[in-house]
Amino acid sequence: MEEIELVKKIFLIIEENAPDDCRDLVIKKLKEKIIKDIKDLGIEKAIGKWMSEGEEDEEIVIVN
């Protein structure tokens, strides 16, 4: 149960910090990546992966 609460908190943080322009796309893309990692690695390893990747900011560029 704690794991579900942790994932919910992560999603809330993503939603609160997503940029206003292209907000929905950024939120959807990040949630999909996290869910895929949780399915593939398990929750503990997925969270560890995302925490270690936090050292570098990823820039998302949308070309219209």
Domain ranges within the chain, ordered by starting residue: 2-53
Residue 47's pLDDT is: 83
E-strand ranges in the chain read: none
pLDDT digits 0-9 by tens, 7-64: 888 889 888 888 888 888 889 999 999 999 999 999 889 888 887 765 555 565 656 5
How high is the mean pLDDT of the chain?
A: 82
Q: What is the predicted pLDDT for the residue at 41?
A: 93
Q: What is the pLDDT of residue 10?
A: 87
Q: How far apart are CA 36 and CA 43, in angstroms?
A: 10
Task: Residue count of the chain, please give it.
Answer: 64
